[in-house]
Structure 1
Amino acid sequence: MTEPSRYCDIVFNSCMTMSEWAVYWQAAGVVTAIIIGAVGLYKIYQELRRLDEQRSKDIQDKDTAARLKRTEFFLTQHRRLFDDKDLFEVLCLIDSDHPELADISIWDKKRKLMAFFEEIALLVKSKQINEDVAFYMFGYYTLCARYGKNFNEGIDISKEYWALFFEFSEKAEKYLEENKDGPPHNMSL
């Protein structure tokens, strides 16, 4: 028979005082709290890892979208040379510095081409277009314009008025000298 101040457990067949049972229940509570805390920390860790992976994916998606948009913009600018009839007319003559370039009727078209080159130079300077790509795609034409005797007829091509053009052209000339066999293999937009 048990004493009234002792309480017995049927499962473990043990009898203890209430204060002895309190110690066991307290220990069981601490162990349970530690297990629940560990599981909670693991869940927090997993959630933080998932959020970090999601953030990395979002950044990568934004970077890909930005590169695609830059590529689209760049190709639009390149197409502009061929789709705009004034620019295309001058572009067809600029390679050989054709004598028709000295004609007064084409002077505004030459200025339009110079303005186009300055726009590209400004985009390169503001790092909106990769300079290697711009030099590769437009550098040759800037050199034709800069050194073309007939192209320079009737239009004042001086650094005073076309500073961006000259800066771009000088850098393009260095780039083309350094890359005589074509663009570097790691070139990208």
Structure 2
Amino acid sequence: MKYVMEFFQRFNDKYIFSANDVNRFLSHKGANKNYYKIFLYNLSKSNKIKKIRYNYYSMHDDIMITGYSYYPFYYGLENALSLLKLWEQETNPVIITPLHVRTGLMQFDGRNYIVRKISREMFFGYGYVKYFDFYIPVSDMEKTLIDFIYYNEKIPDDIFNYLRENANKKILKSYISRINIKETKDKILKVLKS
């Protein structure tokens, strides 16, 4: 297949790439305008690339790269607890994004991950954590606590109490002050005071 070596040289260092990226690359090389579809199909069929979701692919097989196809995003909820080493349970990656995308349980390379939508106003409170050879955005302890309340997610009482007692009160107060939706703010304050 034509352009394969050049393709791998160009895209090998990227976590993910889109069909549009490949289309631009192949067009620049002089390929037919629809050739990228056949090109991606053949590479995917031969397992040289893996499809993450519609129009997004990767040469890597680590499930934690899936979030980059939902950029901007961060890993949150139970997944953040694991990544921050606040509990030892294995969890599916939980991708939190303000994008208008399909949410729920998804699959990449036979493994599950979860996509949750969050309002732009609530999209804050994350930092980058080293995960093997790359960095991933993960909600901090304070935002993880807020997100559990925001999504009405249940976690063990001992974990919830640990988060509430060990969260930086100044950061928590700052995060709560950023929330302009009265019902959301009231719900978070009520749960934190109980």
TM range (shorter): under 0.3
> Relative contact order: is structure 1 or structure 2 higher (C-alpha 8 Å, sep ≥ 6)?
1
Larger relative strand fraction: 2
TM-score (norm 2): 0.23
Tell me which protein shows more helix as a share of its residues: 1
- What TM-score, normalized to structure 1? 0.24
